[in-house]
Chains A and B, each alone.
Chain A
Amino acid sequence: MAQPAEQLPRPMLPTPFRVLETWEEIPGCMSLRVEPAGTGDAAGACAFAPGQFYMIYVFGQGEVPISISGDPARTGELTFTVMAVGTVTDALCAVQPGGIIGLRGPFGSVWPVDEIEGRDVIVMGGGLGLAPLRPAVYHLLNHRDRYGDLTLLYGARQPRTILYTDQLAGWSANDSIDINVTVDNAGRDWTGKVGVVTDFLNWRRLDPDRTSALICGPEIMMRFSAYALLDRGVAAENIHISMERNMKCGVRMCGRCQYGPFFVCDDGPVFSFDRVQHLFRIREV
């Protein structure tokens, strides 16, 4: 039937972005800074909120969900931090400056940086989980006067897998945020702390009524961190975690990222802990 072409949204069609710069963060892990390849409103095309992610397409290889790791105040561009763990992420880590990748997004829920204004904030990261947290840290520091005490508790496997080391050192030096880093194991040359990230919560002064927490890392790390905070009296609704699941669409259609009643792509990835606590106890949800 001859019908006029309908103007329907095209949620699965990526937009070309140009890679401006790439650099290795830690072995096997690259950061990429990108901008829209086409003309038009670059700032609008790159507007996002901390905690959100994009589906990133490498020509002919496939598409993966990657959280934004850059500063939300830097408009007109996006930064991603990618660990090479599979076909697409291997290809993504090999893209050279000037190369073109496809983006769909931004998708998902956000770290509640506005809602937690006026409160003390504990940011807890595990491994690569620091990447999705970094836009929130940037935001907290960009608006330092709007928050109480700021703390970053970060655990990595080994000293050589600590992300953003120079930046952590810089933040640590200017006293606006209390930075604490620990590793699971290390050689003799490591003078820092060895242990799990929840160790930092022991003996730490913490006012549970005015503390909010943002947590991202492996599920087991988030579970222990969230329960450690609950033990310290922080309410579940003031603890926020970011979930990871297989995703193919980002728009509630492929069904892959289901987590109980939630679609992690759209209801998440950021959840307040009270919404998912009942699922966290169950294996293989």
Chain B
Amino acid sequence: MELNRRNFIKFLVGGAAGIQLTPLPWKLTDDIAIWTQNWPWVPVPPVGEFIHEKSICTLCPGGCGIEVRKVDDRAVKIEGRTDYPVNPGGICPVGMGGLQLQYNESIRFTRPMKRVGPRGSGVFIDISWDEALTMLAGRISGLREKAMPEALAAVDGNPARSTLSLMIERLVKAVGSPNYVRIPCAEDTYEMANFLMQGTLGPMAYDLENADYVLSFGSGLLEGWGAPGRVINAWGLWHENPAKKRVKIVQVESRASSTASKADRWIAAKPGTEAALALGLCHVIIKDGLYDSEFVNECSFGFDDFSSAGGKDRAGFKTMVLKKYSPAKVAEITGVASDDIVSLARDFAGAKAPVAICGKGKGSLSGSLYEFMAVNSLNAITGRINKPGGILVHEPIPLSSLPEIDFDDIASQGLEKPRFDAAGSTKYPFSNSLINNLAAAINRSPESPVDTLLVFAANPVHTLPDGGAFRKALKKIPFIVSFSPFRDETAYMADLILPDHTYLEKTDDIVWPAGLQYPLFGLSLPVLEPVYNTRNAADVILKLAKQIGNSVESAFPWKRFEEVLKERAKGLYSSGAGLVDYDGTNPVWKRLKEGTGPGPDYASFEEMWKKIVSGGLWYRLEHTYKNWDNLFETPSGKFEFFSSKIELAVNAYAEQAGIDWALRDMGLAGKGDDVFMPHYEETASDADRSTFPLMMLPFEIINLTSTWVPNPPFLNKALFDTQLRGDESFVEINPETAAKYNVGQGDRIIIKSPEGEVRVRANLFEGAMPGVLFMPLGFGHSAYDEFSKGKGVNPNDIIHAGKDPLSGYPVWWNTPVKIIKV
């Protein structure tokens, strides 16, 4: 029995034959086939009970209604709600991809931490909530003991008017600091323009769905402007019946964006000259007598020439516009043919329900005050103020205000000190906060005046169009606390991380979705149990206040954030109007036209609150249209083409060193009475145009976030390879301009501005205005996960931001650049 080679082969042959007569090979083949269809690394949805939870999306100020599909405790899908009046069923790609911000530990913070590595390195160690809160409370109490509470500052990017924002402002104030600073956005400019011309404090409310002619000054209607779910739905309504299409959309923009490409007419005005175009349209309308004489004569101030108190003759809006904004002149400024200006003006004035809107891109960046006023004037002379399909003028939503704070001595003294950003001072009389000034103030002084900075829902290091000024300022601030749920660039600079819940885990509210034409209070409720050891920033504030004690503690008598929300909602109830039920069958915008609504659909406050908690909303249908005699709260009681408030403010400032100095110092290039009215000013720039002959303009796209919210990785798949290829992002250049610099498609170039340079690839695009380089916002992160980090470049890094005249907001649309071929 020798086991030699031959016998071994025989053994194998026998084995091979024998195995064929067993199930092994056949079963194995089948199993392998099954195995290849069940790779263990392919994610499979969990098995369990399907649960649909309703809430609202708070990733942007749009506040669309969302429905989250869960399998047991795991969220698996986010969809738009059909029973929410803002967005009948639709949401934007970011909202859909929101789940990827929920479970991704390389995007999210999972627990409180403190910094141990150098600033910006992102090296932290875990600490407990108690330790973290003691640390922060100790720091703030320390500032109060040293009688310098104003050294506490907060940067807040939560949607305007939200209760959380109110709590943050209240905390800073109660401590004794006036330095509560908001991230600027288009809504701030709307509010300022409304305040100056209409005297009201309600937000801008465009009745888009009922308009039949929409003239958009750069608003990215298809790029996520306003509440994206609502605006894209409105776009659908305008195009519902192509055979009988009655709505015309005109887009004024220097780049063929999606909105411009799909609009009925695209007017490419040079960036920053939109105000001139709007006034040019006013010129034609006035000259042709197409304006609404009832509104203009009876209800407006400063349209015609008038004599002021001292008997001085003043030139009115009409005179100024007729004199300075003829189509020929405006054509010269804007680059739009004068025939186009004339025909556009006639079309606009000839439409039944036209509306002119402004706020560029998504509206996440601030605008130009005079431009917004000029667009508003266009609406006013055509009588579109407070009429269906136009601009509706409202009071702020009737939420209760929080009780007065009983300031202690330290707080009172601190609050008397001037703000570091000079907002609200005689120089910037109409701004509530100016983050660009704060950064400049810190960079200017040898030691940062801010000792402790709290950052909420904001990533100014990446999103501010300031050429990196804020990042530089952060390096000088001794102690930074980030409340961000996400591992963003600003949080990396922080000393203490107190992570907030994500929007799916927390209670929050959206008070009046951006641009919506009727008042709506949306309540976002947790649809998921917190996945990590995070806490609602509002609850952290309540706890922090208790630890600081004194007037700070007494300013926050609540145990939980929900109590604050409920207390505010009492105002909604006592307003005596409003609805909390909405079933989606009869859209609010349709019912709104009647101006009346059924009485409240609740009998008691408790019933109303219960319904708000389950349905997520309160809204009001009643609206008195026109009502021009009682509407305006300006000094003249009328709509002001000539703003008395600007006149007062400028004159007050001029008391220091004369009017010429005052105008210059306020950044105004206009002269005489022009500065009190909407007018066009060439954007001031200190850059040498011969060194930097081109212009760079950032733009926003719908499948890339450009705010503090990280980009869901899924959205990378929706980018074209002329936007991002590998790690390189593209700049859009007109082929004509590219040819001048011998740049071909895909060539690598360096874009250089006075602030710095970035390396990108060129995408030759006929839709880009010659002489202007267009760079998408949202790339160039140095934080987050592998899908965002190091992908492309951030145009904000090289933006050479000037200041918008009067408002003081950053001017991000006027960066002089040059290109160097690599």
A binds B: no
